[in-house]
Structure 1
């Protein structure tokens, strides 16, 4: 018995706690200094890329009138959402992930969790809105200019922001997500994790991810089908004035470009968010056996989608690339040949 007590005392002494002076404090995550430095370097780089990339989109769309269109209003709002994630959410999540502790109190933990859910779901819903906009532009081109206006787009964006705010803050502050988990989960002082019961794990994931993702996938497959159909029709018309070989090359290039763009859009989106939401749904059914480090990694995978969004929705378009070059040249003090963006 004495040896056992001595061993336990030695283990307690070797263990570092988030709040050593408080009883029931969470233990700090023990990591080698090299690993901690590497984690901070990677996460800081991701944060800087997220903020700077989305700021570049915001400045470009705001500065150039040629980029003022309903589609770009959605991309502008998406960039603002993703930039907010990089400025407001990711720095606090970085410290929590590396240190394994939350030092800012229970109330700010709820605010952070609510904002995290709100901004992440708003970003996902913006991606869904982009897919709806592209569907109308490609599949209903004659009705697009009259039915899709800047006012309607701003109204939809406002509804998305309002819905995400009410849903996220309502769910977290009502503590409905953790109802019935008292016997399974025993939070310690210094933890900040949003733990969902079975009902809300499924409901929240459906509302914030699976339903928008299903809409995106179905619309993008429809867009791809219509794009291929349009390419065949255009090449049938071009066949009267061009050779057969040129027609085949044009059709193949258009179909390849459309398929590549859509594959990148859906592939990056699903790669970043699908593992996290699958884990969120499954975790309550396996008595919350998912390790904290795994969950943190999946959260940062989801955050990384906001880092990729400027590349996917802006850098792929020539007029955005030219706008970025002009903005960067002015920022760095280089002379530009033109301040006018030709699209």
Structure 2
């Protein structure tokens, strides 16, 4: 990737900041002022801690109290686990990438992080869909609710939700299905050393797949 030359205010030619100074294929780096970086780190860290603590309290509450062991609360528990993983696993590396504007954790961890991002986000959406389905039967078909939405049926749906999410997330990234058909554009214009970008086409495919699942499941 060619390095562009910038012209400073005094007319002197200067090279832009790079993620890796000695790499010919390095991405350009946007350097924030120190005060801005500190403020961003504080905001991201506080958001991550609040997300972790809040969902951890939900998980502990549902697990500890036996009277809360109901199909609805199992779904809420699964959703809380997904959101907890967002705050504890996805947000910290994303925080560093956003503030430093470069990815320094390697290509393999980039793929793992992107896969986890898609997996957990998909699991969160699917959990919400299952909760909506469970509430649909509870309100519209109260006589059939207890026979259809048993604890066993709910646990099976949760397991399927996470298996589908993990399969979609990891296969999408490691098999490069998210850039299928636009490989040349991606490698020429987006791919460079120091970048870990979840290409937008991946999210588009995920949401299309989720829409199809919802249409097939909800009567």
Please give the TM-score of this superposition, normalised by the length of structure 2: 0.86
Whole-Å Cα distance in 2 between the matches of residues 80 and 31 of structure 1?
Answer: 34
Choose the corresponding residue for 2:195, options 191, 196, 206: 191
Give how far 1:87 is off. Answer: 0.8
In structure 1, runs of 5+ residues without a counterpart are 220-343
Q: Which residue of 2 aligns with 1:11?
A: 14
Q: Which residue of 1 aligns with 2:81?
A: 80
> After superposition, where does 1:30-49 map in structure 2 within 5 Å?
30-49=31-50
Whole-Å Cα distance in 2 between the matches of residues 20 and 52 of structure 1?
Answer: 39
> After superposition, where does 1:44-63 map in structure 2 within 5 Å?
44-63=45-64
Choose the corresponding residue for 1:204, options 193, 206, 210: 206
Whole-Å Cα distance in 2 between the matches of residues 6 and 214 of structure 1?
Answer: 52
Q: How many residues align?
A: 209
In structure 2, runs of 5+ residues without a counterpart are none
Give how far 1:89 is off. Answer: 0.7
Give how far 1:68 is off. Answer: 0.8
Larger CA Rg, structure 1 vs 2: 1
Whole-Å Cα distance in 1 between the matches of residues 13 and 214 of structure 2?
Answer: 50
Question: Is the Cα–Cα contact under 8 Å of residues 82 and 123 in structure 1 kept in the other structure?
Answer: yes
CA spacing shift, 1:6–1:96, aligned 2, 3 Å: closer
Give the secondary-structure state (helix, strand or coil) at the position aligned to 1:102. Answer: coil
CA spacing shift, 1:203–1:99, aligned 2, 3 Å: same
Whole-Å Cα distance in 2 between the matches of residues 150 and 159 of structure 1?
Answer: 14
Question: Is the Cα–Cα contact under 8 Å of residues 29 and 98 in structure 1 kept in the other structure?
Answer: no
CA shift digits 1:97-119 (9 cap, x unpaired): 11111111111111111110000
Q: Provide runs of 4+ in structure 1 moved above 3 Å.
A: 5-10, 210-216
Q: Which residue of 2 aligns with 1:111?
A: 112
Question: Is the Cα–Cα contact under 8 Å of residues 125 and 212 in structure 1 kept in the other structure?
Answer: no
Q: Which residue of 1 aligns with 2:153?
A: 152
Question: Is the Cα–Cα contact under 8 Å of residues 70 and 151 in structure 2 kept in the other structure?
Answer: yes
Give how far 1:194 is off. Answer: 2.0
Question: Is the Cα–Cα contact under 8 Å of residues 55 and 80 in structure 2 kept in the other structure?
Answer: yes
Q: Which residue of 2 aligns with 1:329?
A: none
Give how far 1:152 is off. Answer: 0.6
Whole-Å Cα distance in 1 between the matches of residues 214 and 51 of structure 2?
Answer: 22
Q: Does 1:23 align with 2:24?
A: yes
Root-mean-square deviation (CA, aligned residues, Å) is: 2.5
